[in-house]
Structure 1
Amino acid sequence: MKLNDPFGRMANRHQRGYESMRDTMHSCGIKTPDAAWEIIRQSKKRAKICIGLAIAVLVLVSLLWPEGAAVTLSLVLFFIVWVATSALNGQRYIRRYIDEELNKKEEKQSDT
């Protein structure tokens, strides 16, 4: 039993997320580690763009409507944390997919 996840709820959620991502990777034809690493690179790029746009919106709203800066700041911070968490979880799932699925296939092919 883990103290930070005593009932295994987060582990179950991460397992379901990984399985969903794995099925999507299979259906999209991602069958090489290089292709999977490219997905990671693209997700990092998208996350940076989203965070940059959120900061730009924060600055713009703060300049145009200073009274709403506090509300906008809290919403932008929430959005940034959400995007960063989603991107990190996605990268973790893809690395696991590379380790468990793609590297095993390469090992089997090199054994034959």
Structure 2
Amino acid sequence: MLISPAYAQAAGGADGGSALLTFLPLILIFVVFYFLLIRPQQKRQKEHKAMVQSLSRGDRVVTAGGIYGTIARVISDTEVDLEIADGVKVRMLRGTVQEIVGRNEPVERGAKTRGKKKDEAEEEEA
């Protein structure tokens, strides 16, 4: 006989370590994606949410569209009035604020410094 008979081979997969080695590249890719893509994006989202929640009247901001303005009024948890020019106010979503350019300084209630610069008021008090 010139042709040898073909016999069935023993069933594979009895070795448990080969299954782990099969999935190891997939696990490593997921770990790399997590540390290079997913985790930094979650951190940025958390920082943006905190920044949006801390918006207050008088803050100078930049919107997602690139418009600079000053927050004239906080309407609700989701909306603010943005003054983009003298007398021109736009109602917009808080989430569209990209960055705070300048913070306002809180004004003390009942202070007699109305209409005066901060330095002049400090000199007068001293």
| Length-normalised TM-score, structure 2 | 0.28
Question: Normalized against structure 1, the TM-score is what?
Answer: 0.31
Greater share of helix: 1
Q: Give the number of the structure whose alpha-carbon radius of gyration is greater.
A: 2
The answer to which structure has the higher strand fraction is 2
